[in-house]
């Protein structure tokens, strides 16, 4: 059974997200990014201090469970009255292929739907252009490519992403 619980800005939840990230993020990108870039991005996005800062600045995290076992996390950032950004959605490798990712995505959509102030809103996300597995997943979820960009994240690293979008009623 799938459950997604809103994370609190406390040591326990932040440590849980950090611990999950150190497994899920490198597993996702080990064939796409160098080990040095993975470590750089982990510190940039997933240090406990950075997770806490994100939570203070419009990022809502959900810690996800499957049969009472922690299996992944989702983060949605409200960027405007009718714009949300799916910042993070990661599932531990051993839980993939069970339909859990779809439920996590639906949780993010439901959160945006319940948080919007207008009749419709848009949810966007950045996805690595070379991550075909993720691209296929987001297309199946109804997202479409709206643009692309190369984003300098520092230390000589570049994120080469598609920006995908989903309109939500």
For residue 117, the domain's CATH number is 3.40.630.30
Quote the number of domains for the chain: 1
Tokens read off for 62 = 């959900």
Q: What is the mean pLDDT of the chain?
A: 96
Q: What is the pTM of this model?
A: 0.94
Check pLDDT > 90 for residue 76.
Answer: yes
Check pLDDT > 90 for residue 73.
Answer: yes
- Condensed to tens digits (0 to 9), the pLDDT of residues 42-70 reads 999 999 999 999 999 999 999 999 999 99
Binned at pLDDT 50, 70 and 90, residue 81 comes out as confident
Nearest residue to 130 via CA among 7, 39, 32: 32
- The alpha carbon of residue 48 and the mean position of all alpha carbons in its chain are separated, in whole angstroms, by 16
Contact predicate 52/85, CB 8 Å: no
DSSP 3-state percent helix, strand, coil across the chain (nearest 5): 40, 40, 20
Check pLDDT > 90 for residue 117.
Answer: no
Please report, rounded to a whole number, the percentage of residues in the chain having pLDDT higher than 70: 100
- Condensed to tens digits (0 to 9), the pLDDT of residues 120-134 reads 999 999 999 999 999
Strand residues in 82-138 grouped as ranges (E): 83-91, 121-128
Domain extent for 54: 2-168
């Amino acid at each position: 059974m799938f459950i997604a619980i809103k994370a609190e800005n406390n040591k326990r939840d932040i440590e849980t997200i950090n611990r999950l990230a150190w497994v899920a993020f490198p597993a996702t990108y080990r064939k796409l990014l160098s080990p040095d870039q993975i470590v750089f991005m982990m510190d940039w996005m997933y240090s406990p201090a950075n997770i806490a800062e994100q939570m203070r600045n419009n990022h809502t995290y959900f810690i996800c469970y499957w049969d009472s076992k922690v299996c992944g996390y989702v983060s949605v950032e409200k960027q405007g009255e009718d714009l949300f950004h799916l910042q993070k959605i990661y599932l531990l490798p051993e839980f993939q292929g069970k339909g859990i990712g779809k439920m996590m995505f639906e949780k993010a959509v439901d959160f945006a739907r319940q948080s919007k102030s207008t009749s419709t809103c848009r949810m966007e996300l950045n996805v690595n252009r070379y991550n075909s597995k993720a691209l296929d997943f987001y297309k199946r979820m109804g997202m479409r490519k709206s643009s692309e960009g190369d984003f300098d994240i520092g230390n000589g690293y570049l994120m080469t992403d598609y920006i995908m979008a989903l309109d939500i009623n």
